[in-house]
Amino acid sequence: MALAPWDLFLRVSYLGFALLLLALAASAYGRYRESRFIALVGAFGILAAEGGIFVLPALSTDPLAWVPGEVVLLHLAALVLLYLAVIRR
């Protein structure tokens, strides 16, 4: 089962954004050594693993690995909202 280009873009965007936020949280922990950043590193690590699961259908033909695009879009929106809640203005 091949993914549509837009669906594949959405999944790879989610994975890339989660990995970027994981790297930012890890560098913030390295710089400030505050315990709240450990929780952020863990949370963004879990979301990055979830992004890897979302990309699996592009690498496999297993129908059990399929996650609907709407679910990926909702998770991407939640990830962006989490990012907006964490950043300082």
Q: What is the pLDDT of residues 36-70, one digit of tens each?
A: 889 889 989 999 999 988 888 777 776 666 788 88
- Domain ranges, residue 19: 5-86
Taking phi first (over 0 means left), then psi (-120 to 50 degrees means alpha), and beta for anything else, what does residue 33 get?
left
Higher pLDDT, 26 or 36: 26
Its pTM surpasses 0.85: no
Q: What is the pLDDT of residue 89?
A: 52
